[in-house]
Amino acid sequence: MKKNLFFTLLMLPAMFVQSYAQSGKANQELLRKADETLQFAARQYKGMMTHVPDSVMPRTTNKDGSLMTSNSTWWTSGFYPGTTWYLYEYTKDPAFKAEAIKRMQLCKKEQYNTRTHDLGFMMYCPFGNALRITGDTAYKRILITSANSLATRFNSTVGCIKSWDHGTWKFPVIIDNMMNLELLNWASRETRDPRYAMIARTHANTTMEHHFRPDYSSYHVIDYDPATGDVFQKRTHQGFADSSAWSRGQAWGLYGYVVMYRDTKDKSYLNQARHIAEYILNNPHMPADLIPYWDYNAPDIPNALRDVSAGAVAASALLELSRYTNKTEGKRYWNAAEKMLTSLCSPAYLAKEGENNQFILMHSVGSLPHKSEVDVPLTYADYYFVEALLRYKQWAK
């Protein structure tokens, strides 16, 4: 009986709560701007398709302004084909479908990669969207194999999926890893094997216990003892300081717990997402346009660099979160997402046509401490921005 209940909960429809916008309060100007921006995005990516070599993926821009690419093993490799699937969904232009399928051939072998925790990004973004949009069941086996590969990194003593194999860490787990749990939940629904979802829930619960401070900001990296599960240290890798709130980390956590609630209907995950959202939206260092500084504790605020990728991820997550809360909270989250999207659609962050190596958004920050990808476009900023615009159009009806 308990097993049947588990699958009943796990397989409930993802979008079951009416959004605030569906009461007729949608921002008509933003709906118009969303269409305009998606059309611009399609033109940008049509240009990108013509100059990215067939053997690589677009990643960002080099310091000299040239295009930086990656191979399929880099953690962002799935975002470009994922974005082209979204653009195909919007435009119905078969050129985007063809481009997505072509680039996915590069990623296909990563289903066997057990050396990374990022298989959700790398595989579920392109192949999950391909399955959803086309219904082609051939993608299921690739995704299940990917879930099996990701599951090999789970340590039941720690209660987490290991993030990195490099450096002097013992068993590092980064907040980003919350984004890869959706693949595991999908695999349990598809195979009816509860093991994948058990790993996802255990990881989410352990992260909830150790990654978050009393104010619901998160550490970037928790290093565990793999033999005992004890916490060795709480650190940052891409943020300003161990004690600071790296803004994209806050967005990863928000998005991850929204997805965990969607997939399980466990209200502890909904409450966690709500708390993280309130930390972000109430932060005294949040700029008026709601596009975060790269770290909420950066020492040079208000002159600190913004991280557009953090804004895009948060906007997409807040739109979905607004569907799962009461009307008052839903309105707050929806309105915040609208403001974020309005800002991202403005000339302050949106590239000029034909520029920015055909990426859509400007002004993201990958890792400022490492002087890597600083104030540049990033492939995943584009992905979550396009996703957020499509969600807005769908849910604002």
Q: What gap in Å lies between CA 41 and CA 171, rounded to an integer?
A: 39
Tokens 């790398």 -> residue: 122
223 is in an annotated binding site: no
236 is in an annotated binding site: yes
SS3 59: strand
Pick the closest to residue 179 from 120, 102, 94 (CA basis): 120
The tokens describing 355, both together, are 């520029």
The answer to whether 88 and 105 are in contact (CB under 8 A) is no
Residues contacting 271, CB < 8 A, separation 6+: none
Residues pairing with 173 in the sheet: 222
Pick the closest to residue 83 from 365, 359, 375, 377 (CA basis): 359
252 is in an annotated binding site: yes
Active-site entry in 35, 136, 176, 225: 176
Active-site entry in 118, 223, 307, 382: 118
Say if residue 315 is exposed, middle or buried (CB neighbours under 10 Å; 0-12, 13-18, 19+): buried
The answer to whether 82 and 124 are in contact (CB under 8 A) is no
Question: DSSP of 138-182, one letter per residue?
Answer: HHHHHHHHHHHHHHTTEETTTTEE---SSTT-SSEEEGGGGGGHH
- Catalytic status, residue 118: yes
The tokens describing 247, both together, are 């803004």
Say if residue 187 is exposed, middle or buried (CB neighbours under 10 Å; 0-12, 13-18, 19+): buried
295 is in an annotated binding site: no
103 is in an annotated binding site: no
Whether the ω angle into residue 226 lies within 30 degrees of 0, i.e. cis, is: no
242 is in an annotated binding site: no
Say if residue 125 is exposed, middle or buried (CB neighbours under 10 Å; 0-12, 13-18, 19+): buried
CA torsion 111-387-377-304 (nearest 10°) is: -120
Q: Residues marked as binding?
A: 118, 176, 236, 248, 252, 367
Q: Residues marked as binding for substrate?
A: 118, 176, 236, 248, 252, 367
- Residues catalogued as catalytic: 118, 176
